A and B are shown apart, each in its own frame.
Chain A
Amino acid sequence: MIRLFCNRLFLFGITLIGGLLVISFLYSYYLKEIIPTPEFMLYDDNNRLIDKAPYPPSWQHPFGVDRYGEDVFWKVVDGAKYTIAIALVVSIFRVLLGTLSGIVYAFYLSRFRTLVDAVIRAYRFIPIIFLTLLFLVPLQLAALETGSGKTSMPLQMVILIVAALPILTGLIGNEISVFLKNEFIDCSRLLGAGNLHLLRKHVIPYLRPRLLLYVVQQTVQTLLLLVHLGVLGVLVGGIKEVVKGDIFKPEKAVLSLSNEWSGLIGLSYRELMLDQWIVLGPCIAFSVSIFAFNLIAKGIEQVLSERKYVTFHELHSNTQSDWNDKQPFDFIHKKDVRQYESSSL
Chain B
Amino acid sequence: MEKVWRWVKPFVEIFMTVCIISLLVALATSIPFFRSLQGFYLFLEKLIQIANGFLHMDTLTVQIGESRTEHFLYIISEYYPYSLIILFSAFCVSFFIAASLSYIYFILPKKIKKWISSLLFFIQSIPDVVFIFAIQLSIIWIFKQTGWLIIDPIAGMDKVYVLPILTLSILPSIFLFQTMILAVSEEYKKPYVELARAKGLSKHHIWFHHLFRNVVVHVVSNMQYYFWFMLSNLLVLEFLFNMRGFMAFLRMQLHQADIVAISLTFLFLPFYLIDWLSKRVVFIMTGEKDVSG
A332 interfacial by beta-carbon distance below 8 Å:
no
Contacts of B240 in A (CB 8 A): 231, 269
- Smallest Cβ-Cβ distance to A159: which chain B residue: B31
Majority-rule SS of A interface residues: helix
Contacts of A269 in B (CB 8 A): 240
Q: Count B interface residues, CB 8 Å.
A: 47
Q: Which of A122, A224, A265, A287 has most B Cβ within 10 Å?
A: A122
B162 interfacial by beta-carbon distance below 8 Å:
no
Could you tell me if B239 and A232 are in contact, using CB atoms closer than 8 angstroms?
yes
A111-142 toward B: CB 8 Å interface, digit per residue (1/0)?
00011011101101111111101110111011
Could you tell me if A138 and B32 are in contact, using CB atoms closer than 8 angstroms?
yes
A298 interfacial by beta-carbon distance below 8 Å:
yes
Could you tell me if B267 and A283 are in contact, using CB atoms closer than 8 angstroms?
no
CA distance A276 to B141 in the complex (A): 10
- Smallest Cβ-Cβ distance to B154: which chain A residue: A273
Could you tell me if A279 and B12 are in contact, using CB atoms closer than 8 angstroms?
no
A178 interfacial by beta-carbon distance below 8 Å:
yes
Q: Count A interface residues, CB 8 Å.
A: 43
Answer whether A125 and B121 are a contact pair too, CB < 8 Å, given A115-B16, A272-B137. no
- Smallest Cβ-Cβ distance to B122: which chain A residue: A291
Q: Which of B13, B124, B254, B271 has most A Cβ within 10 Å?
A: B254
Q: Which of A128, A138, A265 has most B Cβ within 10 Å?
A: A138
Could you tell me if B133 and A130 are in contact, using CB atoms closer than 8 angstroms?
no
In the A-B complex, the 10 residue pairs with the smallest Cβ-Cβ separation, listed nearest first, are A118-B16, A142-B32, A291-B125, A122-B20, A127-B232, A127-B231, A134-B28, A125-B268, A290-B125, A227-B127
Which residues of B are in contact with A by a Cβ distance under 8 Å? 12-13, 16-17, 19-21, 24-25, 27-29, 31-32, 121-122, 124-127, 129-130, 133, 136-137, 140, 224, 228, 231-232, 234-236, 239-240, 247, 250-251, 254-255, 260, 264, 267-268, 271-272, 293
Which residues of A are in contact with B by a Cβ distance under 8 Å? 114-115, 117-119, 121-122, 124-131, 133-135, 137-139, 141-142, 178, 223-224, 227-228, 231-232, 265, 269, 272-273, 276, 279, 283, 286-287, 290-291, 294, 298
